[in-house]
Structure 1
Amino acid sequence: MFHTVIEPRVSETDGVGHINNTVIPVWFEAGRNGLFQLFNPDHSFSDWKMIILSMNVEFKNQLYFGKKAEVYCWIKRIGNSSLELYEEIHQDGTLCAKGTAVYVNYNVHEKQSESIPSDIRYALEKHLYEN
């Protein structure tokens, strides 16, 4: 599992007093930095590999400014060229949001997907989600 701590900002708080729903996908993406590191160790956007195909967010409880939030990201499924993530955001020990995302390993120069290399596949297997 990848784990990231987020410190909510005032600007992410909406008029109702909780973190705005549009912020949650951004926090989920921040929780994927360890995953991105596996595919793009040099962080180069000129050869970026991870292209998002879909994402889903389910809101369970409100999140608030002034309390750290924890993002957890697991690998749910590994395909030939794609992978599915399962993610959660917790605050004060409470599940506040969960979701899934599907990414494909993509060659931007050839404009096509490519198989996930075996060394990366091995590293991904260390982060598999177990129900």
Structure 2
Amino acid sequence: MFITKIEPRISETDGAGHINNTTIPIWFEAGRIGIFKLFTPSSLFKDWKLVIVNMNVDFVHEIYYGREVIIKTWIDRLGNSSFTIKEEIYQDEVLCAKGTSAYVNYNFQQKKSEPISESIREQLKGHMESL
């Protein structure tokens, strides 16, 4: 599992006083950085290997400015060329948002998916756990 901490910013707060719902997918993406680095250690877009094909978000509880949030990210399903991620956001130990995203290991030059290498697959398996 990957753990990411974020300090909510004032600019992410909406008129109702909580973190805007458009911010949550951005925070989930921040929680995936460790996964991105497995596929693209250079972090250069010319070397990029992943394409997102699905994302779902459930808003469970309000999130507020001024209190740290914790993002928990883990691998839920591992296929030949794709995988599914589960993600949760907590503030003050309360589940505030949860979601899933699906990615495909993609060759942008050939415009097609590719099998996930055995070395990356083994690393992803190390992050397959549930809460």
Moved over 2 A (4+): none
Structure 2 matches for 1:16-95, cutoff 5 A? 16-95=16-95
Distance in 2 (CA, whole Å) between partners of 1:96 and 1:47 is 34
Q: TM-score, normalised by structure 2?
A: 0.98
1:72-98 CA deviation, whole Å, 9 max, x = no partner? 101000000000000000000000000
Shift in Å, 1:44: 1.2
Distance in 2 (CA, whole Å) between partners of 1:129 and 1:61 is 23
CA RMSD of aligned residues (A): 0.7
Structure 1, unpaired ranges of 5+: none
Counterpart residue number, 2:129: 129
Structure 2, unpaired ranges of 5+: none
Tell me if 1:12 matches 2:26.
Answer: no
Q: TM-score, normalised by structure 1?
A: 0.98
% identical aligned pairs: 56
Count, aligned residues? 131
